[in-house]
Amino acid sequence: MCGIAGVYDYGYRSNPVVSQELLERMSDAMHHRGPDDSGWFISRDHTCGLTFRRLAIVDLSPAGHQPMTSPDGRYTITFNGEIYNHLEVREELIAKGYQYKSRSDTETILYAYQEWGEECFKKFLGMFAVAIYDEEKKDVFIIRDRIGIKPMYYAPLNGRVIWGSEIKVLLQHPAITKSLNEDAIPHYLSLLMPPAPETMFEGIKKLEAGHSLRINSNGEIIKKRWWSLLDAGEIDHTLTETKAIEDLRFLLRRSIKDRMMSDVPFGVFLSGGIDSSLNVALMSELMDRPVETFTVGFKDLEQYNELSYARDIAKKFKTNHHEILVDSSDAKAMLSDLAFHEDEPNGDPVCIPLYFVSKLTRDSGTIVVQVGEGSDEEFLGYPWMIRDLRFRKRFWKESVPVPVRKLAYFAMKPFMKHPLMREYVRRYAADEEFFWGGAVAFTEVHKSELIRNYSSEKHSTFRFPEQWHREIDERYPNADYPQRMMYLEFQQRLPQMLLMRVDKVSMMPSIEARVPFLDHRIVEYAFRMPTSIKLGPNNIPKHILKKASEGILPNEHIYRKKQGFAAPVGEWLKKEWKPIFDEHLASSKIANNYLNSKYIKQLQREHENGVRNNGAQLWSLLNLMLWEERYF
């Protein structure tokens, strides 16, 4: 895990301005991403500069220093992430005559790019964001991994492009004027993170997962999609449950073993759920010492804890177990720093416990952890997925004419009290796509009251799910609806919200998080798996993964009711955090100039009086206001 950044001033060749001072300032802004080492590179004509922060994981020696330049001086690379099969690719390159100076995966990427060009990334297993400068062609190649585990932001300006692992790094460049992107606010309010390539900063973009950029000497920016889930192939209707169980066990064991590649101590975040427990169980098979496990709980609200389940797993597999308990005061103290490190407001409150368990991990001396993200998106693990599938099958009748749908909506609207139900019927009446993703805080029904001078044309988030559904129609028209849901989750909620919370929050105390369930071979396999196997005959969330876990985990652990890793922000916003919310609501320019503060206070009253649980909505607003205060 590292941080990378760079500048290419292709339009300033007669007056180059890239300097060591600028690169060091950008590097210092992401010190937390790599406290072990730093470096910089400036091209011969001073138009391109690369900078780097290192968290040493593989080859701790100075030989792994970046930026790293090829022996002939042509290519210079900065790399954030891990390539788990770099040793296999290394042997292939050694056979072709390449001579290594380090044991690092960085050097393998550098030589592979020299040998095969950008196609080399299709060989790699892992997570990565990479920037490579070509001294001969005077171009820069930037690429982000298939799933979007590692972040990459960029700002195309007049005559230059600036990029980096975090937005705060780009803001160090004097050419960037920090400005709020008001057009992204309604999309954040709906999806809890602006969809790529949008960000909350005017002029700053995020590179989509599975995409690359090439910036040539004329300033032309060529963006390509180099990997898509839709290329995984058709549903395998010949697959049996027995074979799926066998395959999943093999794929998971291989993935977890690959992600144990490390020259520093590693462990597992153990929430007590099936995914993290599987990580512990399968890792313990491969080790001759106890697995290091880390768990977070809440002092005052035990109903949110899964501590007992985590302790049971730790005891069964004889792990070296670590716990931390936090309360509302602990969480309150780090809210501002959390908003700063997120770069953009991330509406997922799990960022709070994730920070404390990450800090516990670092304080214990462990630098690398495996986490359970991705499993629910792959194997239909959320109860709301089953709910939505049932709702669409029962009520979504395309044969009904749109005018009839609209009449029915307006007739039923006064009697529909639940906002989500109203939103589903509204989409049906408007002939919009049913599924927009699994993280929708404020629906369009909400936003019509929340946003001042609401305009469905200007403020609706529909264009994003519409685009993603259109991509499926064009590239994979035979997809069933669960595949559509999986594709949309891999377009938005997973890479933009869940994986960014893992990356940004774990990097606050400087640790590296790895996601074995998101090995792209498992992802593609899950996409091809029939829904009947994923859910089984009784439509049980994550049925096939539970079956694959039998004999590895205790059955009473596998088949207990899903609780999920959560944070009690709804409880805190009723009491301890109410003054914080009120204070920010009174001072926030976004809340008072852009949003309807009276409606926000209504949401507060409903929540405090127990009329409706608006905790998720209120937290997303508070997080937006905290972010605004820290950056603007």
Segment 105-149, tens digit of pLDDT: 999 999 999 999 999 999 999 999 999 999 999 999 999 999 999
Structural domain that includes position 359: 234-379+491-558
Inform me whether the pLDDT recorded for 411 exceeds 90: no
- Please tell me the distance from the alpha carbon of residue 620 to that of residue 192, in angstroms, as a whole number: 7
pLDDT in tens, 364-402: 999 999 999 999 999 999 999 999 999 898 888 888 999
Within a domain: 564: no
pLDDT band at 305 (very low <50, low <70, confident <90, very high): confident
pLDDT band at 165 (very low <50, low <70, confident <90, very high): very high
Inform me whether the pLDDT recorded for 350 exceeds 90: yes
Residue located via tokens 């993935």: 255
Q: Mean pLDDT over residues 223-227, rounded?
A: 98
Residue type, position 182, single letter: E
Same domain, 477 and 516: no
Q: How many CB atoms lie within 10 A of CB 202?
A: 15
120 is catalytic: no
Same domain, 509 and 548: yes
Same domain, 115 and 174: yes
Instruction: Choose between 411 and 30: higher pLDDT.
Output: 30
Within a domain: 92: yes
Summary mean pLDDT of the chain: 94
Q: What percent of the chain has pLDDT over 70?
A: 99
Structure tokens at 37: 């080492």
Q: What is the pLDDT of residue 257?
A: 97
Q: Mean pLDDT over residues 427-455, rounded?
A: 91
* Spatial contact of 165 and 144, defined as CB atoms under 8 Å apart: no
Same domain, 65 and 26: yes
Q: What percent of the chain has pLDDT over 90?
A: 87
Q: What is the pLDDT of residue 620?
A: 96
Using DSSP's 3-state secondary structure scheme, residue 532 falls into helix
- Among 51-60, 520-529, 563-572, the range of highest mean pLDDT: 520-529
Number of domains in the chain: 4
Same domain, 75 and 41: yes
Same domain, 130 and 36: yes
Chosen domain end from 455, 482, 509: 482
Same domain, 187 and 245: no
Using DSSP's 3-state secondary structure scheme, residue 181 falls into coil
Same domain, 250 and 360: yes
Sheet arrangement for strand 512-514? 320-326, 292-298, 266-269, 368-370, 512-514
pLDDT in tens, 167-198: 999 999 999 999 999 999 999 999 999 999 99
Q: What is the pLDDT of residue 417?
A: 78
445 alpha-carbon distance from chain centroid: 27
pLDDT in tens, 243-262: 999 999 999 999 999 999 99
Within a domain: 576: yes
Q: How far is CA 419 from CA 361, 424, 554, 632, in A?
A: 40, 9, 39, 32
Same domain, 126 and 99: yes
Inform me whether the pLDDT recorded for 514 exceeds 70: yes
517 Cβ contact list (under 8 Å, min separation 6): 252, 255, 275, 372, 373, 374, 375, 378
Catalytic, out of 2, 48, 120, 351: 2
Residue 62: DSSP 8-state: G
Within a domain: 563: no
pLDDT band at 564 (very low <50, low <70, confident <90, very high): low
Q: What is the pLDDT of residue 15?
A: 84
Nearest to 464 by CA among 483, 441, 492, 440: 492
Same domain, 296 and 428: no
pLDDT in tens, 81-102: 999 999 999 999 999 999 999 9
Same domain, 31 and 133: yes
- Please tell me the distance from the alpha carbon of residue 538 to that of residue 536, in angstroms, as a whole number: 6
Residue located via tokens 């970046």: 66
Within a domain: 532: yes
Structure tokens at 236: 């395998």
Within a domain: 407: yes
Element spanning 155, H or E: strand 153-157
Inform me whether the pLDDT recorded for 313 exceeds 70: yes
Inform me whether the pLDDT recorded for 1 exceeds 80: no
Inform me whether the pLDDT recorded for 302 exceeds 80: no
Residue located via tokens 């852009």: 594
Within a domain: 6: yes
Q: What is the pLDDT of residue 484?
A: 96
250 alpha-carbon distance from chain centroid: 25
Same domain, 128 and 218: yes
CATH code at position 250: 3.40.50.620
